[in-house]
Structure formats: structure tokens, C-alpha cells
Amino acid sequence: MPTMEVDGQMVSWEGKKTILQACNDANVPIPHYCYHAGLSIVASCRICLVEMESPDPKDPAKMVKLPKLTPSCQTPAVDRMKVTSKSPKAVANQKAVMEFLLINHPLDCPVCDQAGECYLQDYSFNYGRAESRFEEDKIKNPKKDIGLHVLLYSDRCILCTRCVRFTREISGSGELAVFGRGAREEIDVFPGKTVDNPLSANVIDICPVGALLDKDFLFSQRVWFLKSAASISPISSGGENIFIHHNHGRIYRIKPRFNADVNKWWISDEARYTWQFVHENRLHACHRMQYGSFVETSWERAYAQTTEDLQKAVRDNGPGSTAAVLSPFASTEEMFLHAKFARSIDPQAWLAVTPPRIDGQDQVFKNPATGAVTFTIRAEKAPNRRGAEKITAHFGGNACALEELAEKIKNKKVMAVLASADPLPGMDKPVLAAIGAAPTLIALTSRHTGLYEKAGLSMPTCTWAEKAGVYENCDGRIQAFQQAIDPLENCRSDGRIFWDLLAHEGTHSAAAVRHEMAAAGLADYANVAIPQVEKPLEVMEFSAL
């Protein structure tokens, strides 16, 4: 493996890399602004300049020192190279660039959302100078509303052009450009355009400073109060890797989490902004129907009634007269317990899966210049259809599509249904239509849905943010997600509920269920990698960007 020395540390890499790329991968810090691993290299911010020596191609024993500072983001790493970002010349350049970037920058930190995760702040501290020597008037550029989700504070912009390159190279929509020239230039949208492509909010993440801000998150929380959980987006079958940022049991925002094979550095706006359902319209008690009206009931009584109702159906109508409806929003572990419980009462219980909503076609984004696919938003709007299919296949026996189940209910073949409801608003319509008529309907649901209205018994469940587990994305990739917040008041996850109903010993955990699954022959679940968050507020490391 080729190896170079950077500031006294040995850095190795494979394949073709620039100096900065190799250093980023090896966690050796070199400051950079305009460079982003997912975008083209422009080498314009000039803060990454280093001094370097490399072996003379003619006489490899000899080292040649370049008299010039070299942009590390642009210069290929060469075996046996010696690089320093700490020489007096390199440091003088870093200080100069920091000073230049700050002369027209407002003193906004106290009112700026980016404060705390701002690379102007961090680099000022690490590479800048303490005092300002600028005695002239600052250029004041306006604040602009440039899109559905995005606000631009142009006076905070350092003109790294990452956002412009994103719209040109990743979303392919090209709404943003640099207007004007010299110190008066500004980022702006083309006349009559707004930044409203389905990936638009990624520009907020890649903006190193507080110039592009999220309207949804604006002034809602100081970032240093936020805590981070590594999760998987439940919004589509792509399984975009995300961080959930939360505090005191509330979600404040969702950020992308890098995964080279799935979503790279990006997430769709849909995945980013569809989380309000976690906090809206939630159920907080078990309810049962009594004399035509809902009454609250305890978890103990709900559990008892669930078992009794199902057993009664089997007693009265024989095996095969009950069904379990799995939700593709549940984790695979939950579905495993769900099916297991159903079969423990009725060995011929029918297993059915709510089909995910399909929104048209997959949306494929391409770099217009190269034609390379940059991102895909999946049309299938549920995270775990494949997990559900795997569980159904694993248990074998009676399984049917939801429409078939509807037939069986109509023909009085199936008399009792235990259904897990999809958590997203409006998604339970097909299930409701199919199984609403079942004489005995028990619903596990997180919110006031149609299913809840129809169910003789309902239990308040958790959304994905309140639990851990695994989803299997459309490409068959099994991905684990961490629990972000505690279950909301009196809610229990599907997993916990079935764990209790099955009278399993010990405390319920997704890991314990995976253990059980592996033992039952689902080998894929023996060693699932669990993403870890090392710092309280984990965002994508800038050095990885």
C-alpha cells in the first residue's frame, strides 16, 4: 500500500486518492472548505494548502521539495511523499484565508443556527487569529428565501460553491449559481426558480457555515443541546441512513448519515422532514370497546383480552380462523414475535402483510454532465417489506395476500385478526378496507387511525424513533437502527408487546429477539452490525465530507 508522511503521521491509502482524501480517510486533519468527497474538486477556498516533498521520478532516492504551496484537495497522493500542513508557510496561509473569510462575515454567532456545528467557528479556533484587523465597512448581503426548505443568509456565505455544485452534479436541477464578481458576488437562484428539488435540503448539510439554513429547524434548538441516534429512515424502501437529533424526548431534525453503499452523503427531503407523526395525534392508552364506546383499559387487561379473544376464536371456529397482519413499518424482530405469537395460539393462523404504498416510479437522479446515477428515491414507501416477506416465509404454513384475507373475513373463514398498523397518516386505508369487518379486531397502533376506530381492542405502540431493530431495504440489505427517544407516555413497541404476550423471560430487547431468531434458523440475524454514536451530537464528520 502506498504510504506518505503527513505532519509526522504515516498515512496509507489504496487506489487513486488526493492528499486530502487520503488524510480524511485516515483521520489526519487538514482544513478544507470547498472540498466535498461527493462533489467535483474546485480547489478555490485555498485553506487546504500544504507544503510537500515527493520522490524525484528520475532518481527516486532523492526528494524534491515544491517551492509552492500545494492544494492538498487537488494534488494526487504519491507513495513516500512528505506533506506538512503545519509549516510556517502553510500556517500563514491558513491564518490568512481565515482572516479573509471573516472580514465580511457578520458577528451573528449568537443568533445563528449553525453555531456549534460551524466550520468557520471551529477553524477560527484551530487555525485563525483572535482579533480582527479589518477596519473597513463590511459588505452586507441580504437574507433570501430561496426554496421550500432552505433559507440563504448570503452575508454568512464563504462562497465555497458546494451548494451550487450539489444542484449541478447531484440533484441535476441546477437552480443555484454564483452571481456577480469579486467580493460582491453572491449565491442566488436563477430568476423565477426556487430550490425545490426532492433532494434540496442536502445543501443545508454541506454548507460549512450558517449561510444555508433549514426553515423547519430555524431557531428551534441550540445544536449543542441535541443528542444523536443512528437510525434508518422508515419513509421509503431505500433505507437511507440517518441521524435522529433529539432532546428531552422530542425530535428536532433528521440528518443524513454516510453510507457508501446506500445513500452516500445524502437523503431525500421526504426522509428528512417526515417525522412529525412521531409527535402528532398519538395514542397513550389501551382502549376496548364496551357497549359501543371506547373505554381505557390497562396493559394487563389488554394483554389478557388479546389472548382470550384469539383463543376463543380458535375454540369456536377451529384452527385457521385467526390471522396476523404484519406491517412493513415494523422491525423484522417485531414481525418475528408477532408471527410467533399468532402461531402459538393458532398453529394455522394466517399471516398477511400490508402492501406498502407505491408512489409512481423510483425517482432516479443523475449528474447531467456524466450521466452517473447520484441518488434514487424509492417509490415503495415502507422500510421493511422484505423483512415481512422473510418472516412469512420462515414460518411457512398459512399465508395470504391482504385481499385474500379480506375474502376470508367476508366468508367468515377468519373471525379474529391481530393487526399491526402502519404509523404514517393515511397509510392504513387499505388495511382497514380489508380487515375492518373482522368480528374480532385487535389493533396495535401508534395513532388515532381508522383501524383504531374499528378495533374492539387497541394498544398504543411506538414509532421507529422510540425503538431499536432492523429493517431490510429494497436491495436486501439488513440495517440496524438505534432507539432515539424513550417510548412516549404509556406506549409500548410491538416487540415489547409480543415479548410480553409470549411470556418471554427477561427484559425485551431487539438484540435478544435477534438471538432467538438466529437460534430458530434465521442465520442472517446472528451478527447484525449495530451503528454506534460516539459523541452526543453526532453529525456526519466534516472530515468525511
Partner 1 sequence: MAFPGPILLKRIPAEPGGRHLHRYDDYVATGGYESLKKALAMPPADIVKLVVDSGLRGRGGAGFPCGSKWTFLPKDIHPRYLAVNFDESEPGTFKDRYLIDYDPHILLEGIAIAAYANSITTSYIYIRGEYHREAQILEEALAEAYSHGIFGQKHAGTEFTHNCYVHRGAGAYICGEETGLLESLEGKRGWPRIKPPFPAIAGAFAKPTIINNVETLACVVPIVEHGAAWFKAMGTPSSSGPKLFGISGHVNAPGVYEEELGIKMSTLIEKYGGGVKGKFKAAIPGGISMGILATNQYDAELDFDIGKKYGVLGLGTAGVIVMNDQTSLPRILRNIVRFFSHESCGQCTPCREGTSWMHKILNRIVAGRGKPHDLDMLLELSQTMGAMPGTTICGLADGANWAVKTFLQKFPDDFKAVVKSPLVAGVSVPMAVTVSGAAAAPAGV
Note the residues at the interface with partner 1 (CB under 8 A). 41-47, 49, 67-71, 74, 89, 92-93, 96-97, 100-101, 103-104, 133-137, 139, 158-159, 177-178, 180-185
The answer to the question of residue 328 lying near ligand FES (CB under 6 A) is: no
The answer to the question of residue 35 lying near ligand FES (CB under 6 A) is: yes
Q: Considering the complex, state which of residue 44 and residue 509 has its C-beta at the smaller distance from partner 1.
A: 44
Using CA atoms, how far apart are residues 446 and 459, in angstroms rounded to an integer? 8
CB neighbours of residue 44 within 10 Å: 14
Q: Considering the complex, state which of residue 133 and residue 535 has its C-beta at the smaller distance from partner 1.
A: 133
Using CA atoms, how far apart are residues 306 and 215, in angstroms rounded to an integer? 44
User: Least CB distance from residue 101 to partner 1, whole Å?
Assistant: 6
CB neighbours of residue 145 within 10 Å: 12
Q: Considering the complex, state which of residue 34 and residue 349 has its C-beta at the smaller distance from ligand FES.
A: 34
The answer to the question of residue 17 lying near ligand FES (CB under 6 A) is: no
Cβ atoms of 45 and 32 closer than 8 Å: yes
Using CA atoms, how far apart are residues 395 and 68, in angstroms rounded to an integer? 68
User: Least CB distance from residue 41 to partner 1, whole Å?
Assistant: 7
Half-sphere exposure of 96 (CA within 13 A, CB side): 10
Q: Which residues, listed in sequence order, are joined to residue 132 by a DSSP beta bridge? A: none
Q: Considering the complex, state which of residue 158 and residue 286 has its C-beta at the smaller distance from partner 1.
A: 158
Q: Considering the complex, state which of residue 97 and residue 352 has its C-beta at the smaller distance from partner 1.
A: 97
User: Least CB distance from residue 211 to ligand SF4, whole Å?
Assistant: 4
User: Least CB distance from residue 72 to ligand FES, whole Å?
Assistant: 6
Dig out the grid coordinates for 377 from the structure.
428515491
Residue 209 binding: pick among ligand FES, ligand SF4, partner 1, none (C-beta 5-8 Å cut-off by kind): ligand SF4
Dig out the grid coordinates for 419 from the structure.
393487526
Residue 163 binding: pick among partner 1, ligand FES, ligand SF4, none (C-beta 5-8 Å cut-off by kind): ligand SF4
- List Cβ neighbours of 292 (8 Å cut-off, separation of 6 or more): none
Q: Of 442, 409, 436, nearest to 305 (Cα)? A: 442
Give per-residue burial for 273-283: e unless 16+ CB within 10 Å, then b. Answer: bbbebbeeebb
- List Cβ neighbours of 248 (8 Å cut-off, separation of 6 or more): none
Helix 119-127 vs helix 88-103: crossing angle, to nearest 10: 140
Residue 32 binding: pick among ligand FES, partner 1, ligand SF4, none (C-beta 5-8 Å cut-off by kind): ligand FES
The answer to the question of residue 158 lying near ligand FES (CB under 6 A) is: no
**Interface positions, 207-236, toward ligand SF4 (CB under 6 A):** 207-209, 211-212
The answer to the question of residue 146 lying near ligand SF4 (CB under 6 A) is: no
Cβ atoms of 172 and 365 closer than 8 Å: yes
The answer to the question of residue 36 lying near ligand FES (CB under 6 A) is: no
- Checking phi first, is residue 232 left (phi over 0); if not, alpha (psi -120 to 50) or beta? beta
Q: Of 303, 409, 288, nearest to 352 (Cα)? A: 409
Half-sphere exposure of 185 (CA within 13 A, CB side): 13
DSSP 86: S
CB neighbours of residue 168 within 10 Å: 20
Cβ-based burial of 4 (10 A; exposed 0-12, middle 13-18, buried ≥19): buried
Give per-residue burial for 312-330: e unless 16+ CB within 10 Å, then b. Answer: ebbeebeebbbbbbbbbbb
Q: Considering the complex, state which of residue 161 and residue 493 has its C-beta at the smaller distance from partner 1.
A: 161
User: Least CB distance from residue 513 to ligand FES, whole Å?
Assistant: 46
Cα-only R_g, the chain: 28
Residue 97 binding: pick among partner 1, ligand FES, ligand SF4, none (C-beta 5-8 Å cut-off by kind): partner 1
Cβ-based burial of 465 (10 A; exposed 0-12, middle 13-18, buried ≥19): buried
Q: How many residues bind ligand SF4 (CB under 6 A)?
A: 14
Residue 189 binding: pick among ligand SF4, ligand FES, partner 1, none (C-beta 5-8 Å cut-off by kind): none
Scanning 28-36, 133-141, 191-199, 235-243 for contacts with ligand FES by CB under 6 A, the matching segment is 28-36
What are the residue ranges of helices labelled H in 414-501? Answer: 429-435, 450-454, 494-501
Q: Considering the complex, state which of residue 158 and residue 377 has its C-beta at the smaller distance from ligand SF4.
A: 158
Contacting ligand FES (CB under 6 A), which of 48, 223, 417, 444?
Answer: 48
User: Least CB distance from residue 195 to ligand SF4, whole Å?
Assistant: 11
Cβ atoms of 243 and 539 closer than 8 Å: yes
The answer to the question of residue 45 lying near ligand FES (CB under 6 A) is: yes
Contacting ligand SF4 (CB under 6 A), which of 105, 162, 282, 381?
Answer: 162
Contacting ligand SF4 (CB under 6 A), which of 50, 81, 112, 159?
Answer: 159
Q: Which residues, listed in sequence order, are joined to residue 345 by a DSSP beta bridge? A: none
Scanning 12-20, 154-162, 355-363, 527-535 for contacts with ligand SF4 by CB under 6 A, the matching segment is 154-162
Scanning 30-38, 187-195, 364-372, 447-455 for contacts with ligand FES by CB under 6 A, the matching segment is 30-38
The answer to the question of residue 204 lying near ligand SF4 (CB under 6 A) is: no
Roughly how many angstroms between the first and final C-alpha of the chain, as a whole number? 23
Contacting ligand SF4 (CB under 6 A), which of 6, 30, 49, 187?
Answer: 187
Q: Considering the complex, state which of residue 203 and residue 324 has its C-beta at the smaller distance from ligand SF4.
A: 203
User: Least CB distance from residue 83 to partner 1, whole Å?
Assistant: 14
Scanning 38-46, 183-191, 338-346, 468-476 for contacts with ligand FES by CB under 6 A, the matching segment is 38-46
What are the residue ranges of helices labelled H in 274-420? Answer: 299-317, 332-345, 385-395, 402-410
Q: Considering the complex, state which of residue 163 and residue 434 has its C-beta at the smaller distance from ligand SF4.
A: 163
Residue 244: phi, psi to the nearest 5?
-100, 120
User: Least CB distance from residue 189 to ligand SF4, whole Å?
Assistant: 12
**Interface positions, 62-91, toward ligand FES (CB under 6 A):** 71, 73
Which positions touch ligand FES (CB under 6 A)? 32-35, 43-48, 71, 73
Which positions touch ligand SF4 (CB under 6 A)? 157-163, 187, 206-209, 211-212
